[in-house]
Amino acid sequence: MPDYPKPPFPDQPQPMPGKTARMDPEPDHGEQSYKGSGRLAGKHAIITGGDSGIGRAVAIAYAREGADLLISYLSEEEDAQSVAELVEAEGRKCILMAGDIAEPAHCRAIIERAVSELGDLDILVNNAAHQATFEEIEEISDEEWQYTFATNIHAMFYLVKAATKHLEGGGTIINTASVNADMPRPQLLAYATTKGAIQNFTAGLAQMLADKGIRVNCVAPGPVWTPLIPSTMPPDMVREFGKNIPMGRPAQPAELAAPYVMLASEEASFISGATIAVTGGKPIL
């Protein structure tokens, strides 16, 4: 097992949504470690939030498994360009598309561009998310609550609705949920509530789309060392991030890539409606 860093971590506040290069320690996305074996050869995938964190690790893995990609991201140009370089170094196509998935029209445009420029669509990874930390419910503005839902769950509906006709007959949808769906952290009330909705959305959608030949699953990570952490949490929470789980540390994004690859592959042909927990020993019951 890799000797990944454990807390305490240094203070490192940065503005939302955060930049990978400013993190200490810098996250591991599998840049040096992930080895592909052609499990997604010839596939075409969309990854929202593919510029950093879990999405970046999934993008690297998918490219090394043979898939061409469209990476949707908010505005982090430097992170997006660097992951595109990694994807293209594997000889795979990488389309970058900036914009806010909280806007329904942008979600539809993502699907249209992917199909137009990749030629097809086989995999939709709904990974992008917004979170912010609040100690009291009075601190959460109406706008913050609405934007969290618009980004984390409403966007999934718009993307899936636009993608379904292209995925029929063997496509797959993978949604990023969270351990917060089952054990909500009160300081992340809005975020945790959307993650519970994602898990329910996944289970219902898997049943709705089964007769179209589309599989739908979700991955529920525990704490993961991504730019969202130093950019959305107070220093005391960042310092001890991941300390309270059995492995005593947060996951590195690279440690999340494998379930996304497995769920997108033909090996998972009878897996649908499932939640894969990647929590470092923290049970989801």
pLDDT band at 283 (very low <50, low <70, confident <90, very high): confident
Rounded to the nearest integer, the mean pLDDT of the chain is 96
CB 149 within 8 A of CB 194: yes
Q: Is 191 a catalytic residue?
A: yes
CB 167 within 8 A of CB 211: no
pLDDT at 168: 97
Number of other CB atoms surrounding residue 71 within 10 Å:
28
Number of other CB atoms surrounding residue 66 within 10 Å:
17
What tokens appear for 30 in the block?
């599998």
Structural domains of the chain ordered from first start: 38-278 (3.40.50.720)
Mean predicted confidence (pLDDT) in 80-88: 97
**Does the pLDDT value for residue 1 go beyond 80?**
no
Mean predicted confidence (pLDDT) in 237-256: 96
Amino acid at 12: Q
pLDDT at 285: 64
φ and ψ at residue 75, rounded to 5 degrees: -155, 5
pLDDT at 17: 86
Give the separation between CA 91 and CA 87, rounded to whole angstroms.
Answer: 7
Burial 225-238 (b: 16+ CB within 10 A, else e): bbbbbbbbbeeeeb
pLDDT band at 49 (very low <50, low <70, confident <90, very high): very high
Q: What pLDDT digit, counting tens, does each position of 91-133 carry?
A: 999 999 999 999 999 999 999 999 999 999 999 999 999 999 9
Among residues 34, 62, 158, 191, the one annotated as catalytic is 191
Burial 40-49 (b: 16+ CB within 10 A, else e): beebbbbbbb
Please give the model's pTM, rounded to 2 decimal places.
Answer: 0.97
Amino acid at 46: I
